[in-house]
């Protein structure tokens, strides 16, 4: 059956399996909750993307104002990836982020332009797990998203715990 596997009959690595099952129950492979979260928060129009991190700056306003000419310090490529998208009707902005590192990182966000809503509600969905964490038949929800409200402003930061996947969804109100 595509998309699932009986672990003892599967010839692929167990890390490739999306869903494990036996005759009465199932649990997701480690990637499944991330794939499901990203799919549930799909938005069609690409706005921007970024990759890597650098040393935090005390004056973040200057960072945003001078981003085109500044040189980031302590650049770490491959540490964080982020993509911002917008729904076709322009009422939702979705930012998907992955922190690949063993340390906390910050995501800086500044929303600007004519399509940015004046008022919106925000939700932050995160999935955090250690590299060796895994769901099982005994603990099928070991890797699951946690959601919380996010105060909407046009400029904000999000703390990213080590090995965290995050989705920020902003809906115009």
For the chain, the domains span 30-172
Reply yes or no on whether the pLDDT at 77 is more than 60.
Answer: yes
- Tell me, what's the pLDDT at 122? 97
Model-wide pTM > 0.85: no
Reply yes or no on whether the pLDDT at 135 is more than 80.
Answer: no
CATH of 30-172 among 3.30.559.10, 3.50.50.60, 2.60.40.1180, 2.40.50.140: 2.60.40.1180
Task: Render pLDDT for 8-45 as a digit per residue (tens, 0 to 9).
Answer: 444 444 445 577 777 777 777 778 888 889 999 999 99
CA distances from 23 to 6, 32, 99 (A): 10, 20, 36
Q: Are 58 and 68 in contact (CB under 8 A)?
A: no
Ranges of H-type helices in 1-146:
32-40, 60-65
Task: Render pLDDT for 40-63 as a digit per residue (tens, 0 to 9).
Answer: 999 999 999 999 988 887 787 777
CA dihedral sign, ordered 147, 152, 158, 164: positive
Reply yes or no on whether the pLDDT at 74 is more than 90.
Answer: no
- Tell me, what's the pLDDT at 62? 79
Reply yes or no on whether the pLDDT at 130 is more than 80.
Answer: no
Q: Are 30 and 129 in contact (CB under 8 A)?
A: yes
Q: Which residues contact 33 (CB under 8 A, 6 or more apart)?
A: 127, 143, 144, 145
Task: Render pLDDT for 84-115 as a digit per residue (tens, 0 to 9).
Answer: 999 999 999 999 999 999 999 999 999 999 88
């Amino acid at each position: 059956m595509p998309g699932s596997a009986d672990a003892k009959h599967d010839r692929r690595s167990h890390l490739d399996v999306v869903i494990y099952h036996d005759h009465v129950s199932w649990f997701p492979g480690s990637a499944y909750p991330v794939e499901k979260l990203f799919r549930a928060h799909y938005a069609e129009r690409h706005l921007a993307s970024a990759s890597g991190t650098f040393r935090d700056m005390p004056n973040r306003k200057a960072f945003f104002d001078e981003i085109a000419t500044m040189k980031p310090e302590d650049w770490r490529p491959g540490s964080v990836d982020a993509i911002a998208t917008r729904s076709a009707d322009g009422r939702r902005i979705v930012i998907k982020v992955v922190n690949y590192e063993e340390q906390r990182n910050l995501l800086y966000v500044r929303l600007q332009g004519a399509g940015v809503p004046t008022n919106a509600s925000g939700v932050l969905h995160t999935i955090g797990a250690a590299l060796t964490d895994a769901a099982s038949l005994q603990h099928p929800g070991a890797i699951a998203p946690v959601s919380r409200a996010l105060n909407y402003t046009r400029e904000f930061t999000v703390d990213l715990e080590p090995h965290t996947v995050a989705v920020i969804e902003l809906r115009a109100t």
